[in-house]
Amino acid sequence: MLFILLQINGFQVPSLTIWILAWIFLVIGLSALTILVVYTIYGREISIKLSIISISISAALLGFSFHFFLIIFGI
């Protein structure tokens, strides 16, 4: 319904593949960020490896998801 309304106003319908990848990357990136926050609050021993891996994964996937959303909306 939303795509039909946007298409009437001259908006191009976005690529379904990029749309799905953006949402997948957003969910995985937010979950990696949540794991990092929960681990740093409740973690008993400090693991630098887990922190670096979690920061890298969340930053990369959130960056790609925001990039894909901007591509979809033509910004």
Band the pLDDT of 5: cuts 50, 70, 90.
Answer: low
DSSP secondary structure, 19-69, as one string: HHHHHHHHHHHHHHHHHHHHHHHH-SS--HHHHHHHHHHHHHHHHHHHHHH
> pLDDT of 46-72, one tens digit each?
677 878 888 888 888 888 888 888 887
